[in-house]
Chain A
Amino acid sequence: MPADRMLPTEQAADLVALTREIAAKELAPLASEYEAASRFPREQFRVLGKAGLLGLPYPERWGGAAQPYEVYLQVLEEIATAWMTVGVGLSVHTMACYPLARFGSDTQRDEWLPDLLAGDVLGAYALSEAGAGSDAAALTARAVRDGEDYRVTGTKSWITHAGEADFYTVFVRTSDTGTEGISCLLAVADTPGLAVGPAEHKMGLTGSPTAQLIFDDARIPIHRRMGEEGEGLRIALDALNSGRLGIAACAVGLAQAALDEAVSYSIQREQFGRPIIEFQGLQFLLADMAAAVQSARATYLEAARRRDAGLDFRRHASIAKLVATDAAMKVTTDAVQVLGGAGYTRDFPVERYMREAKVPQIFEGTNQIQRMVIARELRKAARSR
């Protein structure tokens, strides 16, 4: 049963209807097969791009759709319900565009943003390194000025879309002044000196490639720097604030898929002479799953509406990411329970959902880091009172 949504405009409703149609016809039928084969659905991103879904929250001036986060995130949720790899991919692409869209100069935006939003190219966001995960400011990939270029050397780890992306939004160290020494560059995929490491063998989200990006004296023009030198960490964290809302929406979409599967199975599976949904023990499990999905959705939408209204939403984004991804873990685990032995097999998608639900608790700031952010915002608010 598709999620029951309250959307702000008729166009938003038409947009969600279009997303559902594409998800049902182009995404859902392929998901299990592609995930089992660790195959990345590059062509499906082009279908989304053609429909205008790869630039939803960005200004129309550069080819975006100028949609509020309230609408963009619900589109994203619908896509993640059909296929988590594609939902996460769209969220990552949107985040990869953010530094240019938000911090680029008009010249930079006029030159590159239309291509990034047009739907044919795909982006990646490269912040993490082997030694800089939760502690992103510890990154060491180094960019040294040489004439009109930076010469970049270092290795980025865990990069979603590595090897598939057409451009990389990369964070590098331009000086040794700690958090003040990081800058943001926009690298094209065919930059000489940029190589991609072997794909990680992951527990889930296997259709989405994750690998290292290895820069070996790669030249990136200085005019491809977003914002000022030293502004990089601020840009990275700002992008993550919005990115987290995307991950929250994907987690809710995944949980919705697990709930739908659990409900439809429990209506047709019979034990003791009746459908198992008639047993109160199972009803309460399903009811708790539905409550978790709906409250997680409400939480990310509240954060989104604050963002759309121009209010501070950092605490709300972290709470949404924490609540939604924990909900997805719980709901997908319970969905396996509802399907019993069948749920534990690869003949049904719920074991895959459960594996996929683990990673949103880890990336874009682990849920421990989200709690740190939430507590920091609480303390800040208390002090300023």
Chain B
Amino acid sequence: MNIVVCVKQVPDTWAERTLRPADSCLDRASVDGVINELDEYAIEEGLLQAEAHDGEVTILSMGPQKAAESIRKALSMGADKAVHLVDDGLAGSDALGTSLALSTVLARIGFDLVILGAEATDARMGVLPAMLAERLRVPQLSLARKVEIDGNTVTVHRLTEYGYDQVVASLPAVVSVVEKINEPRYPSFKGIMAAKKKPVETLSLADAGIDPAQVGLGAAATEVLSFAKRPPRQAGTIVKDEGDGGSKAAEFLAAQKFI
């Protein structure tokens, strides 16, 4: 089975993140890049499914040169090979452009199953899995907290507010995962050494046959007109206990949909 895991390098979640005044794009250069957290779960799921079904895991990442670090980490976790789509013309792509680029490469390299994290910690759009599935004309199974493959059928438990839905589709398909699905492994030193020898194919827009006019900041259907720093946190609500503190606290939690 041919599994492709899409991996995005994002600015370290713990670092202070800013937008560049010149083009309102995220400043990726000035902070450390890490694998988008949910993508680590996607990699782990890819590896587990490959182990169970004698498959192969390919990492697909679109991003600047620096994203090679994240690709290396995914390979050192155990993925077999990688494709890195890197081109200055891709910078500033919105979700439409990104999904076009990734789906073009996916169609080219072929797949039985595409796995990705349900969203990225930088933009938090969460639309890429749906867009990819649509462009590739395959079923989408979103927010999976459990994946089972049996022959040509994939079944997921899809996380919902009340529990989960069981969703069944035929392969090939796109699956997006949430952090409940597994516990991502750490790489090992042996993995780090092995990663050095694993093939990484680097593709430019031209190599991949992607029309430069349809991707990048210029082609983006959305535009950031202005931005401001997040306002400082407001003072919280203080519940005074007059014998009914418990129910007031419960009301608050219910209003916020915590319970």
Contact = CB atoms under 8 A, between A and B. Distances in A.
Contacts of B187: 14, 18, 51
Interface in A47-78: 47, 50-53, 56, 65
Contacts of A22: 186
Chain A contact-residue range equals 10 to 19
Interface residues of B, number: 12
A9 to B, nearest CB: 9
Interface in B190-235: 190, 192-193, 195-196
A144 interface: no
A14 B192 contact: yes
A3 to B, nearest CB: 14
Contact of A11 (B73, B188, B193): B193
B76 interface: yes
A21 interface: yes
Contacts of A10: 72, 196
A342 interface: no
Contacts of A53: 189
Interface in A1-47: 10-11, 14-15, 17-18, 21-22, 47
A121 B189 CA distance: 17
Nearest to B195: A14
B65 to A, nearest CB: 14
Among B186, B188, B196, residue most surrounded by chain A Cβ atoms (within 10 Å): B186
Interface in A199-251: none
A52 B76 contact: no
A17 B33 CA distance: 12
A61 to B, nearest CB: 14
B256 to A, nearest CB: 27
A15 B186 contact: no
A183 B109 CA distance: 62
Interface of A: 10-11, 14-15, 17-18, 21-22, 47, 50-53, 56, 65
Nearest 9 interchain pairs by C-beta: A52-B189, A52-B188, A65-B189, A14-B192, A51-B188, A51-B186, A18-B187, A11-B192, A52-B190
15 contacts: A10-B196, A11-B196, A14-B73, A14-B76, A15-B189, A15-B192, A18-B76, A18-B187, A18-B192, A50-B186, A51-B188, A51-B189, A52-B188, A52-B190, A56-B189
